Amino acid sequence: MNYDGLFSNRLPAPVKTHPGLGADTKYVFSVTYANPQTLPGDGFVDALRAAMRTQAEDLAKYPPSQGHVGMRELIAQRLEENRGLKTGIDSIFLSSGAGGAIQVILDAFIDPGDIVLVEEFCYLGTLAMLLSRRANVIHVPTDEQGMDTDAVRSILSDLAWQGKRPKMIYTISVYQNPMGMTMSLERRKALLELSQQYGVPIVENESYADFVIDGDPLPQAIMGMDDEDSVMYVSAYTKLLGCGLRLGYAVVPDAVKETLGKLRFGGSPSHLASMTVHQYLQEHKDEYIESVSESLKEKRDAMLSALGENFPPSCSWSKPEGGMMIWVRLPEGADSWAALDKAVEADVKYNPGPVFRANRDRPNHLRLTYSHNSPEEIREGVGILASVFEREGLFG
């Protein structure tokens, strides 16, 4: 068959990435996998058995269009208790991971050339989805308090002068990927005000909100403060209970619900996964989240101390209070993109900073994740990485 001329002319634009990220390595510091050491294999078996006893017949049918009802009830309850976000199950839809929810939202809003504001460095998956849709991505300066809302104000006001209205402000407001910080309460309020003033919705991604390790309690979700339908909220159980479950969700205002509904066809997670996770979390939620947090604490501390022992003072890095990643800054001129091949040869992979930037600049940054390997492996892997960087001249 010759397929020339048959492909859709709406195919995504090519997005430059680094081939090293696809390599198979022992030390995986490049992906926020769920923590394998705490994954509840036996717990899932019991939960599946219990769910099948009462709900097996439901599998014969197609699931409710917005997903498993019990799971949505559990999500609504957790959001109210933990994130100060009061919502009903009719505003929630389950998706194939947080990624699936983001994809549907972008499909509903983004045409080529549309402007989207994101943090100074932005989760590579969303960024790739934006770039492949040919969005005009504007990175906003970001510090330890999160996205700089003075900068947002000046960008929005400049654009308004030019008669331009961005389609959305996309923020990973908790343990930001890749920079690791949580947006402060003041910035959340300011961002919401700006969103309402300029009529630009916020897409709030809280994929890491379950991974509190220490530090102050998390500020309320932005959507919880909103009374003007300005925010769409995205999160998932993938990082908590397994990326392979593909169980994520979005909470959306009525004003966009119907449009998103038209685009969601086929994008729901497996109903079997929803049933099992629902059953499991009903019985084990608190103790399980606690065990993941304890394990991540050990891993984070192992990575922080290994960085302190192996990386020179010319480098600096974040000290995250939760989540799964450390953001590292190398001396000016260091090229973490070029060095990735050498690191992969030495069995270590990480994310070079440019994969989080629309124009692939800032190679003197990199992201290291600590959720996958054991603390011992993390110490070994960081040591190996430091030797590679030393050899390649990245430490200046």
Ligand X SMILES: Cc1ncc(COP(=O)(O)O)c(C=O)c1O
Specify the amino acid at residue 148. D
Q: Given candidates 149, 205, 336, 351, which one binds ligand X under the rule CB under 6 A?
A: 205
CB closer to ligand X, 109 vs 389:
109
Among 296, 236, 221, which residue's Cα sits nearest to residue 103?
236
CB 178 within 8 A of CB 123: yes
Binding mask 219-238 for ligand X (x = CB under 6 A): -----------------x-x
Specify the amino acid at residue 223. M
User: Cβ of residue 258: shortest distance to ligand X, in angstroms?
Assistant: 24
User: Cβ of residue 208: shortest distance to ligand X, in angstroms?
Assistant: 7
User: Cβ of residue 162: shortest distance to ligand X, in angstroms?
Assistant: 30
CB 128 within 8 A of CB 17: yes
CA distance linking residue 386 with residue 304, whole number of Å: 13
Verify binding: residue 123, ligand X, rule CB under 6 A.
Answer: yes
CB closer to ligand X, 28 vs 334:
28
CB closer to ligand X, 156 vs 234:
234
- Give me Rg for the CA atoms of the chain: 21
Verify binding: residue 125, ligand X, rule CB under 6 A.
Answer: yes
CB closer to ligand X, 159 vs 243:
243
Would you say the C-alpha torsion 122, 128, 133, 136 has a positive or negative sign? positive
CA distance linking residue 159 with residue 289, whole number of Å: 43
Verify binding: residue 75, ligand X, rule CB under 6 A.
Answer: no
CA distance linking residue 11 with residue 19, whole number of Å: 21
CB 219 within 8 A of CB 183: yes
**Subset of 96-115 contacting ligand X (CB under 6 A):** 97-99
CB 74 within 8 A of CB 278: yes
CB closer to ligand X, 47 vs 102:
102
User: Cβ of residue 96: shortest distance to ligand X, in angstroms?
Assistant: 7
Give the single-character DSSP code of 311. S
CA distance linking residue 389 with residue 340, whole number of Å: 9
Q: Which region, judged by CB under 6 A, interacts with ligand X, from 34-42, 93-101, 145-153, 370-378?
A: 93-101
CB closer to ligand X, 235 vs 295:
235
Which residues lie closer than 8 Å to 344 by C-beta, 6 or more apart?
20, 23, 25
The answer to whether the bond into 253 is cis (omega within 30° of 0) is no
Q: Which region, judged by CB under 6 A, interacts with ligand X, from 94-102, 222-230, 253-261, 334-342?
A: 94-102
Specify the amino acid at residue 221. A
Q: Please provide the size of the chain in residues.
A: 396
Q: How do the residues of the chain divide into helix, strand and coil, expressed in percent and rounded to 5? A: 45, 15, 40
CA distance linking residue 182 with residue 209, whole number of Å: 10
* Interface size with ligand X, residues (CB under 6 A): 14
Binding mask 158-187 for ligand X (x = CB under 6 A): --------------x----x----------
CB closer to ligand X, 248 vs 363:
248
Verify binding: residue 146, ligand X, rule CB under 6 A.
Answer: no
CA distance linking residue 56 with residue 52, whole number of Å: 4
Verify binding: residue 40, ligand X, rule CB under 6 A.
Answer: no
Q: Given candidates 63, 180, 224, 248, which one binds ligand X under the rule CB under 6 A?
A: 248
Up-side HSE of residue 346: CA atoms within 13 Å toward CB? 21
Residue whose entry in the numeric block shows the structure tokens 């959305």: 168
User: Cβ of residue 326: shortest distance to ligand X, in angstroms?
Assistant: 14
User: Cβ of residue 323: shortest distance to ligand X, in angstroms?
Assistant: 9
Verify binding: residue 32, ligand X, rule CB under 6 A.
Answer: yes
Verify binding: residue 371, ligand X, rule CB under 6 A.
Answer: no
Residue nearest to ligand X (CB): 97
User: Cβ of residue 202: shortest distance to ligand X, in angstroms?
Assistant: 15
Verify binding: residue 207, ligand X, rule CB under 6 A.
Answer: yes
User: Cβ of residue 33: shortest distance to ligand X, in angstroms?
Assistant: 9
Q: Which residues bind ligand X (CB under 6 A)?
A: 32, 97-99, 123, 125, 172, 177, 205, 207, 236, 238, 243, 248
